[in-house]
């Protein structure tokens, strides 16, 4: 376990701009760290050749006196469901093994334009279906603290890359907790922005009404800098909105602790750590009260009706005809469809496709999908009611710490219950951040989840940063 190996991103960029360190040196360092961490199974592919080429371009620009971007020379890790040049895009699925992207995702283009350099594509649950990376065709990613435990998912590789210090930041996607949960399990910050804040063009779709693009970082200032680069409208994604991540300057907040997620159903050590973090919020001068949100208990069953329906729709394009895996033994059109999908999808992919097709089928659409969407509206209204009183809501990110590899693989329901606290904000399209709250007695990381009203992403980052700064001040750092 290596730990922190980089300074703050702004300091790194300043060093590159002053010529104190080259972009190439940063990239070589990150690639070396990636090689040293092979046993964690973080990466599906490294983008060594392209990364070094991009670093050389930045160093040459500096020599010519040209202006550099706000992330110049900063290496980063990219979840392998973003289309990118330099390595295959697989979404950690056999279905897409060997797929060469014909274009780059908007998020990747923005980062490259700012001077950030992708050094590798990180492991995930295939097609982002899962919370442990155990559903990856390329094997499980291991927790950075305990290699017998999961990294979380689906963005497990990205979280561990940042936790180990391979790169100062990494990109992930979050549909129902896929950034926040692995962030909590590995002791880093994980940002899920307001729905539509970042373009999803060029990202392999999971569930189109809840998919969001966010990042992992070791501190709130770095996360804010990355999100400011990523955010904004995109003509290639009609769901995008303008969202300002600039600090709000509001000093004292009214914070609501979600009582429904502070119960005996949550691990007692997790509760103790989160309560201590809440005390820190109160010590900083924020007003803290509990709030009851009884409708949130319906969010998980709603999610596992709505999301599989969208998954089934989005995965219908993988048919062995246009692109993706094609079964070699297929002889008829029907066999091409059936065998290719059977061989190309992981068991969890198949489970979600079957659930999705069931709830969308004739005779069940009204009973399941339509009813779930109506309850989803009630959950949105529940949040609106809470935010009429509170600036920010807080609760644990997950009900437990990182579980053992293989512990939940035979129990899908237990695995889904890990998302019970991260799913509600996703259904409502709200911004949510997992921040490191502390550790259990055995040293496992615990995350606290900060939730804001639509567009209040900056406020959550402000709050996270205020706690960080207070801790640093108390330590005289």
User: Which residues are tagged catalytic?
Assistant: 79, 154, 178
How far is residue 412's CA from residue 135's CA, in Å, rounded to a whole number?
A: 12
How far is residue 459's CA from residue 452's CA, in Å, rounded to a whole number?
A: 8
Beta bridge partners of 215: 171, 191
How far is residue 279's CA from residue 211's CA, in Å, rounded to a whole number?
A: 32
Strand order across the 169-174 sheet: 43-46, 117-122, 75-79, 169-174, 212-217, 189-192, 432-439, 445-452, 392-396, 254-258, 287-291
How far is residue 385's CA from residue 460's CA, in Å, rounded to a whole number?
A: 19
How far is residue 337's CA from residue 400's CA, in Å, rounded to a whole number?
A: 40
CB within 8 Å of 380: residues ≥ 6 apart: 427, 428, 429
Nearest to residue 182, comparing CAs of 149, 208, 156? 156
Q: How many residues does the chain have?
A: 477
- Helix (H, G, I), strand (E, B), or coil: what is residue 170? strand
CA distance readout (Å), 173 to 153, 203, 350, 369? 10, 9, 20, 24
Contact call for residues 270 and 252 (beta carbons, < 8 A) = no
- The single-letter DSSP state of residue 40 is G
């Amino acid at each position: 376990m290596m730990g922190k190996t980089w300074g703050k991103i702004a300091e790194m960029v300043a060093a590159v701009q002053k010529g104190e360190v080259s972009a190439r040196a940063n990239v070589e360092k990150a690639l070396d760290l990636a090689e040293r961490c092979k046993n964690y199974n973080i990466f599906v592919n490294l983008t060594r050749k392209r990364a070094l080429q991009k670093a050389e371009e930045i160093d040459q620009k500096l020599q010519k006196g040209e202006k550099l971007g706000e992330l110049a020379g900063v290496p980063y890790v990219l979840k392998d469901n973003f289309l990118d040049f330099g390595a295959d895009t697989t979404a950690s699925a056999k279905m897409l093994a060997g797929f060469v992207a014909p274009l780059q995702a908007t998020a990747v283009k923005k980062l490259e334009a700012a001077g950030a350099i992708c050094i590798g594509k990180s492991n995930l649950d295939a097609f982002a279906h899962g919370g442990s990376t155990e559903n990856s065709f390329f094997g499980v990613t291991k927790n950075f603290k305990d290699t017998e435990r999961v990294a979380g998912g689906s963005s497990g590789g990205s979280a561990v890359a940042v936790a180990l210090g391979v790169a100062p930041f990494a990109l992930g996607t979050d549909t129902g907790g896929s950034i926040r949960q692995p962030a909590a399990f590995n002791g880093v910050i994980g940002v899920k922005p307001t729905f539509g804040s970042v373009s999803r063009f060029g990202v392999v779709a999971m569930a189109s009404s809840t998919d969001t693009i966010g990042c992992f970082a070791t501190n709130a200032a770095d996360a804010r800098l990355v999100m400011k680069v990523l955010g904004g409208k995109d003509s290639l994604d009609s769901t995008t909105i303008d969202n300002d991540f600039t600090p709000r300057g509001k000093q004292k907040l009214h914070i609501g602790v979600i009582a429904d997620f502070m119960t005996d159903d949550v691990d007692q050590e997790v509760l103790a750590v989160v309560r201590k973090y809440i005390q820190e919020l109160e010590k900083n001068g924020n007003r803290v009260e509990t709030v009851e949100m009884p409708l949130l208990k319906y969010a998980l069953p709603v999610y596992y009706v709505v999301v599989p329906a969208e998954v089934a729709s989005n995965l219908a394009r993988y048919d062995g005809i246009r692109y993706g895996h094609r079964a070699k033994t297929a002889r008829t059109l029907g066999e091409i469809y059936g065998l290719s999908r059977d061989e190309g999808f992981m068991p969890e992919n198949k489970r979600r496709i079957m659930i999705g097709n069931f709830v969308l089928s004739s005779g069940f659409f009204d009973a399941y999908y339509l009813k779930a969407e109506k309850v989803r509206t009630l959950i949105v209204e529940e949040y609106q009611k809470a935010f009429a009183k509170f600036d920010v809501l807080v609760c644990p990110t997950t009900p437990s710490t990182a579980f053992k590899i293989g512990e939940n693989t035979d129990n899908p329901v237990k695995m889904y219950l890990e998302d019970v606290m991260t799913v509600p904000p996703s259904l409502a399209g709200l911004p949510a951040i997992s921040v490191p709250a502390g550790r259990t007695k055995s040293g496992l990381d615990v995350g606290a989840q900060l939730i804001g009203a639509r567009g209040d992403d900056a406020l959550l980052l402000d709050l996270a940063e205020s706690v960080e700064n207070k801790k640093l001040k108390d330590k005289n750092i």
